[in-house]
Chains A and B, each alone.
Chain A
Amino acid sequence: MSILRLLLTIVLLAFAAPSFAQSSNAAQDRGVHLNPQREPVADEQQLLTILRDGRLPDGKVTGNVYIPDAKAAVLIQPEGRFWRDFKVTGSRWVHAILFLLAVAAVAALFFFRGGQTYERDPQGRRIKRFRAVDRFAHWLTAVSFVLLALTGLNFVFGRVLVQPLVGDAAFSTMSYWGLVSHNFIGFAFILGILYMTVAWMQDNWFGRVDVEWMKRAGGYFGGEEPPAEKFNAGQKLIYWISVFGGFGIAVTGILMMTAISWLGVTGMQIAQGAHTLIAAGLIAVVIGHAYLGSVGVQGSFDAMSKGDVDLEWARTHHPLWVERVLSGQETLRGGPRRSPHPEPAE
């Protein structure tokens, strides 16, 4: 294919080149036969001027090709230059800035606020927070997301950070298998997002208590923590960002796996740009989520590692939910009705 592209480029440039004799000789060396009786009809500068003035109906300079790959006939696509600049420079800046902002925010919270502690229930009672299937879906999404982020970031920073360290051959092999892994691990991520979207949606609609929680920033910077349901407003925000971001990144990712003739070159460029921008945002959000779900709010990691949490922790952070559980109003879908009185931990 690269040979065909080279051949095509030579053919196209040959009729646009100012020096026909020189082009003809160079082309013939590569097996392209031009009619020596015919002068070229335009030079590249002329084509660029016409393009800049907007005198071409579709905004592109195209020629004719003999190969079936019609997109190869495009000699100059101005959007391609913008996309190339974005891919080589812009997306790196976006990723780097969002990543550093997230890390800086987490570091600032850790050093100036520290991890939120909680008082344990004196009787050691615990309350069920997530079923095994919920935790499975969460970790399925989390593990696949980390792998996707690592293999994806290789496309953004690999040439700058990894290639100089490991060499061209190793980087090439690594990137190839990184791409294959990225493409197919993505389906585990999609399944996880789909499950969480359906299973957790009813607990993530915003209500009046969430407005109050937002106004007081969850009491994270002082004052009493506002009451919250099973998920507080911050967690709900992360849920909706994950849902919309997850679907956005899934759709653009699948589109990029289809044949390029389906979307066209411009469509692929838009899909790739959207994919990497959404990914940059999601990575930043997930860094914050991982901190708050572990070190930032002590005791919360139990919810996803063990499935249950200390009763006092739940009363501190999600009193409205605990109230509902203890009064027996809430049942787990697909599971038995919860005991109105939490059992002591074993």
Chain B
Amino acid sequence: MRVFLLSCLGVALIAAAAYAILEGGFARNAGDAFARAGSTRVSDEYKPDPAGYLSHVQAPAGGKTSGRSQTSETAPPVRQ
């Protein structure tokens, strides 16, 4: 049963090595994908047409520069 015990150790070592090598990699992978998709956080194409389909939705106050969602306190006054 020595081989069995060694294989248990092998499972632990391989899992630990995979964690050490890949955990950061997967996180970076997800982060990169997210960053690429959002390299321009608010581009013109995302902004609603003032008189169009989504005109009732206001452009966010944060977005590109601050990267935060707007709140009641930070949002600009409603445009008419």
Contacts and interface: CB of A to CB of B under 8 A. Distances in A.
A135 B3 CA distance: 7
Interface string A96-115: 00000000000000000000
Given A40-B56, A64-B48, A305 B4 contact: yes
Interface residues of B, number: 48
Given A67-B38, A144-B11, 19 more contacts: A3-B69, A29-B72, A31-B71, A33-B78, A36-B56, A36-B78, A41-B53, A66-B59, A68-B38, A135-B3, A143-B8, A144-B15, A184-B23, A185-B15, A187-B17, A188-B10, A191-B14, A305-B1, A305-B4
Instruction: Count chain B CB atoms within 10 A of each CB in A66, A67, A147, A257 and give the residue with the most.
Output: A66
A140 B11 contact: yes
A140 B41 contact: no
Interface stretch (A77-85, A208-216, A227-235, A258-266): A258-266
A239 interface: no
A136 B57 contact: no
Given A34-B57, A64-B54, A69 B15 contact: no
A293 B35 CA distance: 51
Given A15-B56, A68-B34, A187-B18, A35 B78 contact: yes
15 contacts: A29-B72, A31-B70, A33-B70, A34-B58, A35-B58, A38-B55, A63-B54, A64-B54, A64-B57, A70-B37, A136-B6, A139-B3, A184-B16, A187-B17, A260-B30
A33 B72 CA distance: 8
